[in-house]
A = this chain, B = another copy of it.
């Protein structure tokens, strides 16, 4: 007996924010939630025990990367990514389309799918909507995404419309393949559709309506973080779609964003987030340090002023290592390119992001979100 996928437990009165429970095969996820990125089946530098201590509830895996390495034979023999990576909690996978588009020098989108050359060895590969679903079924993610046509930042209305329409046709093909494989493999995973539409509000709305008609389990809104557009544009693009999508289905926003973006997007009805920012910034020595009501300041550890700052990296961390090691020591590790640097900074930044989504949920649950969120977003 399958439980309801998503249950809203509390709604904000003045915004579209909501606190919910997402019930997946590998456990419940309390939303809003941030999902750390485990590109190659590992959240860089961390163990599953670290992630459990961070209270990470769901992580993201990249279909493109996992397809190339370790490859489908290994993942299939392992019985899927959960077994392979020893991560027992839920996993969401993307479709692989974005990496096929962004990581490879040569990628060609046709009606059938996308042809590209592996960024690892130049080998020619072909990713179709059906292929993406079959890979994600082998990975065994709790939530799979449909393949969408990815676009560069600056495009004309005509190009955007054609891509949006193709994405809808691909969404239908993805769903057909998913249903077929579901019958064959008897799995209880979920497929999310991807509302697109680039920077055109009319297309955003039409894409949301058409995707909704296909009746997916939830949505991963795509293409809003192409870079360059003003924040407000991004916020209204999302709102124009969450206004259309069913309230009772979970909504994920692909690849966003800063702490402020997350709060803004929760107010516009988003439940799930993923972004490389906390983990990638960590590896470049840029740390989110929480202050007060989960506001934060950025600690750029490589700055000279940290060379003799012997105060703790983060005195409020739950990790004894971050409460004990000094900023001066962490700076030394970064300057010396020592492996430990990346782990410490990654723990710090994911702790901030996961604390933030937990705080947002608490604010919604205790009727404080409406009076809190704009103040949070004003600072910085």
Nearest CB on B from A77, distance (A): 5
Task: Give 11 A-B pairs besides A70-B335, A74-B328, A84-B326 with Cβ atoms closer than 8 angstroms.
Answer: A42-B333, A42-B336, A42-B340, A44-B339, A45-B343, A70-B328, A74-B307, A78-B310, A78-B326, A84-B328, A84-B329
Q: Which residues of B contact A102 (CB under 8 A)?
A: none
Identify the A interface with B (CB < 8 A).
40-42, 44-49, 69-70, 73-74, 77-78, 83-86, 307-308, 310, 320-321, 324-326, 328-329, 332-333, 335-336, 338-340, 342-344
Interface of A, secondary structure class, is helix
Q: Is the CB of B324 within 8 A of A86?
A: yes
A339 nearest CB neighbor, chain B only: B45
Q: Which residues of B contact A73 (CB under 8 A)?
A: 308
Q: Which residues of B contact A336 (CB under 8 A)?
A: 40, 42, 69
Q: Is the CB of A78 within 8 A of B328?
A: yes
Identical subunits present:
2
List 12 A-B pairs, Cβ < 8 Å. A42-B338, A44-B339, A45-B339, A73-B308, A74-B332, A78-B308, A78-B310, A78-B326, A84-B328, A84-B332, A86-B325, A86-B329
Q: Which residues of B contact A41 (CB under 8 A)?
A: 329, 332
C-alpha spacing A332/B44, complex, angstroms: 13
